[in-house]
Structure 1
Amino acid sequence: MPEGGWPVIVFVRGSAFHEQNVTDYSNYFVRIAEQGYVVAALKYRHSDIAQFPAQMQDCKTAVRFMRKNAERFHCNKDRIALWGDSSDGHTVLMAGFTGNRAPDTDAYAEESAEVNAIVDWHGPTDFAKMNFYPSSQNHSDPQCPEGVVIGGGDVLEHPDLSAPASPMTYLSADMPTPSTLIMHGGRDQLVPFNQSCRLYATLKALGKDVTFYKLDNACHACYGFRSARALRLVFDWLSDRL
């Protein structure tokens, strides 16, 4: 065990904000643990029972829980990263960008929700812009994942709901932002590739530590994201920041 304990990765498995099958990603968790990380796999309140911000609040609670129980799990409370894919790339961006700021929760409030780094795999970043780029889904419909998570409203007709639920809303030059790694498939048929492009450009313009990898032939969560090469890109990046 390294001095101070093992670094922690809170992993949030994508599910279109619906109920997650966390064990489906056990292969990821094993491969991450083999690199010397404690993996905390989060199962949150999904959108069928709780709308935004419940998901990102549960993510913050997971971070605080790991800090509170660092000695029990032999982990380092000062070395924590978030990693999520698809809808939960969104969740980890929201939790990481806001940290101890609203929308927050009182659970384990004595601990900080701040993290060192965020790994975002093809997550939505700006709900209102998703429908302006090619996708296999209507991203403004009240029954789409984004519509359901904001309470069943049309995303474009309710900017008062969609803007607070978009990670891009919480970026500014004067607010600290964790180091961020973005990875997106060039053939993603569901979450428009432009969502990651806009996030990268904004973070770069604000002077944040951000890295962006395009997996040319990868689709949404497949054809590349389970490869050893993709995971090596993440592990190499994390080794310098965690």
Structure 2
Amino acid sequence: MASILEIDFAQPEGFRPLSLDLRTPDAEAAPLVVFLHGGGWLRGSRRTFTPGISAAQSFDRIVAAGFAVASCEYRLSGEARFPAQLDDVDAALAWLRTHASDYGVDAVRPVLWGVSAGATLAALTGLRRDDIAGVVDWFGPADLFTLAELDTGERPEDTREARWIGGPAASFPDAARAASPALQAHPGAPPFHIAHGTADELVPFVQSEALAAALTTVGADVEFDAVPGGGHFWQDVEDTALLFDRAIAFCRRATA
């Protein structure tokens, strides 16, 4: 079992304190994975890696491989709209850069690992900073314009992405473009490990296909792990350990 420290890393004015859980292995200068949870930017918890997968199967598995893991909160869309969440990720990274060495952690060039909405934040952060060793993107929305074409049965202004950016992508094109990793790919992007289930009905598989294609076009190092029959949050995947192992292997290469 990894040791866990609960730390307040930021206090945005007018909002609740933001916290992170720092899990550390028994090693000095452990490389760092910064984790961002899913939940459609509407909900979710830093304490849950993926619904249905225990902490022992997720956080502890990564720590057992020799990494420290900082699982970080960010303001949800009911609290603040995009790009406030990117400011929160930056605040977490700033705290870790300043203080993580006190806990035996090397936070100079972390890997960002996000799931679903958190993967979008991880990808956007990796694409706008030059101190990120790599990004693990698990089934994250990548293009808010094409995501808006998905028939969810909701009014366009009620979708999770509309609540995040302030309204439908067509009505807020600048925000939608800035919040879409596939539209932000550029030369010099960090390495990416992208994994997505081909049967994902919540965030279609084509979202990650578009991100992988955009990154490949600009010359980025991209691993694309298509998971046959996998649903969102790895529903219907029998052995998620293999998915963790492939992502951990990427983290090891990125931080070597």
TM-score range, shorter chain: 0.7 to 0.9
Task: State whether structure 2 residue 36 is matched by structure 1 residue 19.
Answer: no
Structure 1: 4+ residue segments shifted above 3 A: none
Q: CA deviation at 1:138?
A: 5.6
Find the residue that maps to 1:76 and give its secondary structure. Answer: strand
Equivalent residues, number: 223
Q: Distance in 1 between matches of 2:194 and 2:112?
A: 12
Q: Distance in 1 between matches of 2:91 and 2:233?
A: 26
Is 1:136–1:190's contact at 8 Å kept on the other side of the alignment? no
The residue correspondences of 1:142-157 to structure 2 (distance < 5 A) are 142-151=157-166, 153-157=167-171
Task: State whether structure 2 residue 215 is matched by structure 1 residue 191.
Answer: no
Find the residue that maps to 2:186 and give its secondary structure. Answer: coil
- Scaled by the length of structure 2, the TM-score of the pair is 0.81
Q: CA deviation at 1:143?
A: 1.1
Partner of residue 205 from structure 1, selected from 197, 217, 222 = 217
Q: Distance in 2 between matches of 1:115 and 1:140?
A: 37
In structure 2, the residue matched to 1:120 is 137
Is 1:70–1:76's contact at 8 Å kept on the other side of the alignment? yes
Change (3 A) 1:139 1:31: farther
In structure 1, the residue matched to 2:194 is 182
Q: CA deviation at 1:227?
A: 1.2
In structure 2, the residue matched to 1:8 is 32
More displaced 10-residue stretch of structure 1: 157-166 or 85-94: 157-166
In structure 2, the residue matched to 1:231 is 244
Change (3 A) 1:128 1:235: same
In structure 2, the residue matched to 1:111 is none
One-letter amino acid matched to 1:229: L
One-letter amino acid matched to 2:157: P
In structure 1, the residue matched to 2:15 is none
Change (3 A) 1:57 1:224: farther
Which segments of 5 or more consecutive residues in structure 1 lack a partner in the other structure?
A: 101-113
Change (3 A) 1:88 1:212: same
Partner of residue 64 from structure 2, selected from 26, 34, 45 = 34
In structure 2, the residue matched to 1:64 is 94
Is 1:60–1:99's contact at 8 Å kept on the other side of the alignment? no
- Scaled by the length of structure 1, the TM-score of the pair is 0.86
In structure 1, the residue matched to 2:173 is 159
More displaced 10-residue stretch of structure 1: 18-27 or 65-74: 18-27
Is 2:30–2:106's contact at 8 Å kept on the other side of the alignment? yes
More displaced 10-residue stretch of structure 1: 32-41 or 73-82: 73-82
Change (3 A) 1:140 1:10: farther
Supply the RMSD in Å over aligned alpha carbons: 1.9
Change (3 A) 1:138 1:67: farther
One-letter amino acid matched to 2:111: A
Is 2:111–2:133's contact at 8 Å kept on the other side of the alignment? yes
Q: Distance in 2 between matches of 1:157 and 1:231?
A: 38
In structure 1, the residue matched to 2:228 is 216
Q: CA deviation at 1:70?
A: 2.5
Change (3 A) 1:234 1:241: same
Is 1:136–1:189's contact at 8 Å kept on the other side of the alignment? no
Q: Among the aligned pairs, what percent are the same residue?
A: 29
User: In the TM superposition, what whole-angstrom CA distance separates every residue of 1:93-115 from its partner, at most 9, and x where no partner exists?
Assistant: 11111016xxxxxxxxxxxxx21
In structure 1, the residue matched to 2:146 is 129
In structure 1, the residue matched to 2:116 is 86
Q: Distance in 1 between matches of 2:202 and 2:60?
A: 27
